[in-house]
């Protein structure tokens, strides 16, 4: 599925309890979907896998969900300059779902640090 690029301005960052970075997609203006409102979270692009026994992403890296409603999101984040895919792929669950490894771009890493200034993972 082809999606429009998702720009850094549409991203809020958080941390999972494991300390992994979460990427949340937010409709800032309320115009991405006829049923959304300004500031609504449209979805979460990442998944936390460490507590399930999968490898911890390197610093500044994440696991991107690629299944179900997240089809095309990884590519849209790349097109929007939020992440760069790396060669890591993690098979998740019994049905062959894949999580793709990605590195935050320098601009995204700077925004993550700005949003989390003074907080520890």
- CA 58 remoteness from chain centre: 15
Mean pLDDT of the chain: 89
Query: What's the pLDDT score for residue 28?
Result: 75
Buried b (16+ CB within 10 A) or exposed e, 43-74: ebbbbbbeeeeeeebeebbbbbbbeeebeebb
Residue 104's nearest CA partner among 95, 96, 114, 117 is 114
Query: What's the pLDDT score for residue 31?
Result: 66
Query: What's the pLDDT score for residue 107?
Result: 97
Q: Say what the pTM is.
A: 0.88
Is pLDDT of 32 > 90? Answer: no
Query: What's the pLDDT score for residue 12?
Result: 95
Is pLDDT of 38 > 70? Answer: yes
Each domain of the chain, given as residue ranges in start order, spans 8-115
Is pLDDT of 34 > 90? Answer: no
């Amino acid at each position: 599925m082809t999606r429009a690029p998702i720009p850094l301005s549409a991203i809020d960052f958080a941390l999972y309890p494991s300390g992994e970075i979460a990427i949340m997609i937010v409709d800032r203006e309320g115009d991405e979907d006829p049923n959304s409102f300004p500031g609504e979270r449209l979805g979460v692009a990442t998944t936390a896998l460490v507590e399930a026994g999968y490898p911890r992403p390197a610093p500044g890296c994440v696991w991107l969900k690629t299944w179900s409603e997240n089809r095309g999101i990884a590519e849209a984040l790349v097109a929007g300059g939020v992440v760069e895919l790396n060669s890591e792929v993690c098979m998740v669950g019994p049905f062959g779902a894949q999580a793709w490894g990605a590195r935050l771009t320098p601009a995204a890493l700077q925004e993550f640090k700005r949003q989390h200034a003074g907080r520890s993972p």
